[in-house]
Structure 1
Amino acid sequence: MSRLTVLAIGVTVAALALTGCTDNKYSEPFKDAPRSHVNNNAPMDVVNGSDGFSNVGTKCDHGNRVYVAYHGDEKYAAVAVVPQDPTCRGSN
């Protein structure tokens, strides 16, 4: 996967996270935009931050590790991608 593709995925995830209109993003069933298909429905591993700190979700997608930091139901988040993360070998 090229760096441009990874960057595009990161920008898309960040845009969706920053512009969400839901009251409860934990239970929102992808009602934010039309999608042609789902590539990766695997659950994220969640790291709960201490009180007052952001939580982090992480998962592998096509060999790349994606991190999303979020804070409760607030409408902001941060995204980071580790291209071709060795811990993601064999992931879809």
Structure 2
Amino acid sequence: MRRLAFLGASLAAGVLVLTGCDNKASEPFHDAPRSHVNNDAPMDVVNGSDGFSNVGTKCDHGNRLYVAYHGDSAYAAVAVVAQDPTCEGR
């Protein structure tokens, strides 16, 4: 009986681990609705040294966006430079 309970608990834990691990970079858009305007241009990526966050930057409608992220962690930071002169025409 104990073996059966242990096997059931192990199976449930395994299913939770396998389904709970997800790659946020490939996650579809589950949050807010998106408009029809897309900016699929690639970001310039600055790789931080080991232990430090990476930074991605790109222009969008004349504004410079910075996104700091750390690998596949669940956190990130966003900063915007409004009307960045280096983004003219982008």
Q: TM-score normalised to the size of structure 2?
A: 0.68
CA displacement 1:30-54 (0-9 Å, x = unmatched)? 3544323233111111111000000
> Mind listing any 5+ residue stretches in structure 1 that lack a counterpart?
1-20
For residue 29 of structure 1, report the CA deviation from its aligned partner.
Answer: 4.2
SS in 2 for 1:87: helix
Count, aligned residues: 71
CA distance in 1, matches of 2:36, 2:46: 27
CA RMSD of aligned residues (A): 2.1
CA distance in 1, matches of 2:80, 2:74: 20
Change (3 A) 1:55 1:87: same
Structure with higher helix content: 2
Percentage identity across aligned positions?
A: 85
Q: TM-score normalised to the size of structure 1?
A: 0.66
CA displacement 1:46-67 (0-9 Å, x = unmatched)? 1110000000010000000000
CA distance in 1, matches of 2:21, 2:79: 22
Contact kept? 1:23, 1:73, Cα under 8 Å = no
Higher RCO, 1 vs 2 (CA within 8 Å, ≥6 residues apart) = 1
Which residue in 2 is equivalent to 1:53?
Answer: 52
